Structure 1
Amino acid sequence: MHMKLISKAAISISTLLLSFTFFENLIESKPLFAKDFELKEKISNPSYKLGPGDRLEIKLFQMESFNKVLNVLPDGTISLPRIGTLYVEGYTLKDTNLLITNKYKNILKRPIVYINLIQARPVRITISGEVQKPGIYSLDLSNDSELQNYSGGISNRVSSKGWPTIIEAIQKAGGLTSQANLRNIILKRKINKNLEETIDINLWKPLKNGSSIFNQYIYDGDSILVQKSNKLRADELHIISRSNFTPATISVNVIGEVIKPGIQTLRSNVPLTEALLSAGGLTAKSNKNGIKHFRLKENGTIQSKIIKYDPTTKINEINNPVLLDRDIIMVPKNSLAKTTDAFRTILEPARPVVDSISIYRLFNN
C-alpha cells in the first residue's frame, strides 16, 4: 500500500513536471510567434496614419450635438465641439480615438467615441529610376494611368480602383523603360522620423513563372526606385513588353532606301526586321549588308552597328537586334546606285545647254 502511494505520487509529480514544461515552452514560444507576426504585419500593411486631407466622421454615443464630419487641416489639426483644436497628423485611428476620448473625459462622465475614415487623402509618392516619367505623383482610390513611350505617344490606358499598389504606381509613371530591372525594385517607407524601412520587390518571377505576386500597397510618403539592369536578353525583353508594366508601342525612325521612310510606330521590343517591313521594305537601290543601327545612350553618346539584313533571321544581337524607343535605322545605297547618282550629279549642270541645242535643232529642221 505504501509503495502504491509512492508510485502514484511519482506519476503525479512527473505529470506535473511535463505539464509545466509544456506550458513553459508554450509561454516562451508565444512572444516569438507574436513578434514574427507583428513584423510581417508591419511590412505588408502598416496602420494607416492620419494626415492633411483625410475626411473623418466623429460620433459620441447618445451625444448627437457633438457629432461632426470634418477634414484634417493642412496644419494636421481638427476642431471638435467643447474641446477645441487637436493635433492628429501621424496618429492612427486608434490613437486618435484614445486622444479624443481622454479630452472628453474632462467634461463628460463616460464618453464613447466612434471614428470613421470617410475618405482617405491622396497618396503622394516619389518614383525614380527606370520608369518613363520619374517624379512625384499623387494617387487616390481611383486612378487612370497612361503607359507612354519616351516620345510621349500614349500607348494604352490603365484604370484601377482600390488602395494603390506598387504596380499602379509604376503605371502612373508611364511604365518601365527597356532597361528596368524587375528583379530589384526598392520601396522605402518612413516608419517614424528616425526609422526608415526598405523592402526589396521582385516582379520578374510572376511574369516568368506565373507565381503569385506580392503587389505591395503603397502609402503616403513612400519612395520607389526601379534599378537599372546591366543587360536583358531578347527573350526577357519580349516577356516584359507583353506585360502591363511597359508601353505597348515604341517609335523608331527608319530612313534611307526604304519604300516609306519616317517614324514607325511599332510594338514594344520588336526586332529590326519588323521595323523595315513597317517601312514598306527595302528599295532596289538599298545595300542590304550595310544597314546602320543607331541608339542614343543615357550618357549622350551614340551607339552604332552595321547589320547584314536577312528577313528570315531570328532575333539576335548581331543581325536582328530588339529595338528600343527612339532607335534610328539608316538603309544606305548600294555601290551601283551611288555610281549612277554620281554621274547624274556631274551631268546635271549641262542639262540646260543640251536642252537649248535640242530646241535650236528642232526649229532649223
Structure 2
Amino acid sequence: MGQNDNNISFSLSQITFSLLLLSSAAAPGWAQMSLPIPTTTSPSLAPASLAPANAAPPSLTPTYSTPDGYQLGAGDRVRLDIFQVPEYSGEHQVLSDGSLNLPLIGTIPVQGMTLKQASAVLSAKYAPIIKRPIVTITLLGARPLKIAIAGEVSHPGSYTVSPSGEQGVPTVTRAVQLAGGITQAADTRQVQVRRARPLNVGGEQVLTVDLWQLLQTGDLRQDLLLQDGDTIFIPTQTVVNLAEANQLAAASFAASKAEPLRIAVVGQVNRPGPYTLTGNMDGQAEAGGGVQMPTVTRAIQVAGGITQSADIRRIQLRRLTKTGADQVIDVDLWKLLQAGDVRQDIPLQEGDTIAIPTATAMTPTEVTELASASFSPNKITINVVGEVVQPGVVEVPPNTPLNQGLLAAGGFNRRAKKGSVELIRLNPNGTVSRQQVAINFSKGLNDKDNPPLRNNDTIVVKRSGISGVSDAIGTVLSPLTGGFGLFRLLGL
C-alpha cells in the first residue's frame, strides 16, 4: 500500500503540474513570455534558459527620442537587440542602399521603414532560425535630414539638419530659424508640413501646424518633429493684425533683429529716400539687453523726421511678400500720440516702403503736438531777413515761437521797424501765405501775436520810417559829400 500510495501521489502531482502549465499557457501574455529556443544545434545558439548568469548587461549607449513615424534611412545608426540572444545583438549602420547587413540573415532593406516596422520585418527573418524571436531596434544616431522650407521666411530653400546633442531630431521652429526666421507677413496659424508616407504607400501627407498656439499657450505639440524629405510651407497672411505683429517679431523663430534692413521712406519727411536700418541704431537696447527691432517711427527719425505738413493719420506701409504681391498696411501714428497705441509702431522687414502723405488741413493745436513728437526733427530751419543783427538761415527747435526766432537771429538792429514783422509761410497745398505779426516780447506762444514757427518759414524785418528817410537823404547827398571830399583833398 505504501508503494502504491506513493505512485498515486506522484501521478497526482504530475497531473496537477500539467494543469498548471495548461492554465498558464491559456493566460494572456504567455506567448510574450516564451523563451526563444533555437532550432539549430549550434552551441552558440543555446537556449536562452541556459544563458550564463554573468551575461553582459544591456548597452547603456544613449539613444534618441524619436516619434513613432521616424523613417529609417542611409546613415542612421541603430542598435539591434534579440531577446536572450546577445550573440547577435549589437550596433549597426544603415548602408547607403538603405539596408542593414546582419548576421545569419544577411542584407535586409529597411529604407523608409519605421522602427516598429523594421523590428517586425527582422523578427520574421529570424523566425526560421530562432524560435519566437523578439527583435527590438533602437535609434542611436539619426542621420542628417534634408528638408525644404518655402514661403514667408527670410531665406527659403533646401537645408541639411544634423541631429546632435540634446536637440535630437529637429523641429519645425528649428528649421525656420535655419532659414533666417519668419517674415512679418507670415501666417503662423496655417503652417504646412508635407511628408511622404512610410514605405511610399499612398499619396503625400499634409500636416497643419499652428505656431501661434505655440506662442500663446506653449503647446509644444505644434512644434512638430521633422523627418527626412519634409517640406515646410509658411503661407502669407491676408490681413495684418497690428496687435500680433510685435509678438511675432519677438518670437524665437522670427527674423534676426540684428540683420540690416533696406527700406525706403517717401513723402513728407525731411530727407526722403532709401535707408539701411540695423538694430539699436540709437545705441539703446531694449529692457533686458535685447536688440531693438527697427519700426516705423525709427525709420522716420532716420529720414530726418516728418515735416509739419505730414498727415500721420494716413501713413501706408507697403510690404513685398514672397508671393510677389504688395501688402498694404495702414498706420495711424496720431493714435500713438493721443492714446499711446504702440501697435501702430509696427516692426519693419526687408524691402518695406513707408509713404507719408501731405495733410490737407491741420489745426494749430495739431501742428504744435506734431512738433513735439519723437519722430519730428530735432531742429527746423527758418530764414530771418532784413533789419536784424545776424540775418540769414537760423536753426531752432520745432514749435519755436516767432519771438524766439527773432532773438536767435540777434534781435532787431537800430534801423529795424520794431512794431511788427511779416511772416511768410509755404502751405501744404502749395500756396504762400503772408501774415503781419505785431511784436510784443512779453506775449506767450499764441497763433496771433507769437505763432509757432514751421520749417522753412521766413521772417521779414523792415526798416523803420526814420531809417528809411535818412537812407534816402544819404543817397541823394552822396555825390555832394563825395565832391566835398575832393575839395578838401585839393585844399580848396
Is TM (by shorter chain) over 0.5?
Answer: yes
Distance 1:337 1:158 in 2: 55
Amino acid at match of 1:50: S
Which string of whole-angstrom CA distances, capped at 9 and with x for unpartnered residues, describes residues 242-261 of structure 1?
22201111121212111222
Give aligned-pair identity as a percent: 27
For the pair 1:141 / 2:279, whether they are aligned, the reply is yes
Distance 1:118 1:193 in 2: 18
CA contact (8 A) 1:57 1:117 kept: no
Which residue in the other structure is 2:263 paired with?
125
Where do 1:170-319 residues align within 5 Å? 170-191=300-321, 193=323, 196-210=326-340, 213-296=343-426, 302-319=432-449
Where do 1:105-116 residues align within 5 Å? 111=228
For the pair 1:333 / 2:463, whether they are aligned, the reply is yes
CA-atom RMSD, angstroms? 4.5
CA contact (8 A) 1:189 1:221 kept: yes
Deviation at 1:199, TM superposition (A): 2.6
Comparing 311-320 with 258-267, greater Cα deviation is found at 311-320
Deviation at 1:212, TM superposition (A): 5.0
For the pair 1:353 / 2:483, whether they are aligned, the reply is yes
Which residue in the other structure is 1:8 paired with?
none
Amino acid at match of 2:350: D
CA contact (8 A) 2:261 2:277 kept: yes
Distance 2:371 2:284 in 1: 15
Higher strand share: 1
Deviation at 1:313, TM superposition (A): 3.3
Distance 1:307 1:158 in 2: 43
Q: TM-score, normalised by structure 1?
A: 0.61
Change (3 A) 1:192 1:254: same
SS of 2:481's equivalent? helix
CA contact (8 A) 2:152 2:321 kept: no
Change (3 A) 1:118 1:286: closer
Bigger relative CO (Cα 8 Å, ≥ 6 apart): 1
Structure 1 residues without counterparts, runs of 5 or longer: 1-46, 68-77, 79-85, 145-156
Deviation at 1:268, TM superposition (A): 1.0
Which string of whole-angstrom CA distances, capped at 9 and with x for unpartnered residues, describes residues 125-176 of structure 1?
33222112222333233435xxxxxxxxxxxx98884322222222222211
Which string of whole-angstrom CA distances, capped at 9 and with x for unpartnered residues, describes residues 45-104 of structure 1?
xx951238x9x8943458xxxx9xxxxxxxxxx9xxxxxxx9x999979999958x87xx
Q: TM-score, normalised by structure 2?
A: 0.47
CA contact (8 A) 2:154 2:255 kept: no
SS of 2:328's equivalent? strand
Deviation at 1:348, TM superposition (A): 0.9
Deviation at 1:352, TM superposition (A): 2.8
CA contact (8 A) 1:288 1:309 kept: yes
Which residue in the other structure is 2:162 paired with?
59
Q: Which of 138, 154, 158 pairs up with 1:50?
A: 154
Q: Which of 450, 453, 457 pairs up with 1:320?
A: 450
Change (3 A) 1:275 1:159: farther
